Amino acid sequence: MNGMFRWELIGFVCRIDNQINLVDFDSTTGQEIFGNVPGHVDVHGGEFVLDAAFTDEISGSARFTLSRSENSITHLQINRVPQSLGKLVLDYHPVAIPSAPAGSFSL
């Protein structure tokens, strides 16, 4: 298992209809009202993945994603959806102690 590397290049396209969002507020009950909003979101993007096994006990992975999630009415990126995202993971998993806890670190 030492020195094994694997990579992937992934592309994705998706259209999301029937979005649900806050549409009103009922002051009598003090509750926000959710409902379907007009339009759709077109999502286009790609991800690069690199996995590596450095030793039998240490492995890691790196991922980077670029995406565009655009509302069909405003033509803007939708809120709280990042256009880019990266992740690094280093994993230690001792093989001599199969019941020992394993640890991971993500950025």
The span from the CA of 12 to the CA of 8, in Å, is: 13
Alpha-carbon distance values, 32 to 21, 38, 78 (Å): 10, 18, 20
Structure tokens at 40: 């759709």
Please tell me the predicted confidence (pLDDT) of residue 58: 86
The span from the CA of 17 to the CA of 40, in Å, is: 5
| pLDDT greater than 60 at residue 106 | no
Q: What is the pLDDT of residues 32-73, one digit of tens each?
A: 999 988 899 999 999 999 999 998 888 899 999 999 999 998
Query: pTM for this structure?
Result: 0.71
Q: What is the pLDDT of residues 72-94, one digit of tens each?
A: 988 999 888 899 999 888 888 78
Q: Which residue has the higher pLDDT, 7 or 104?
A: 7
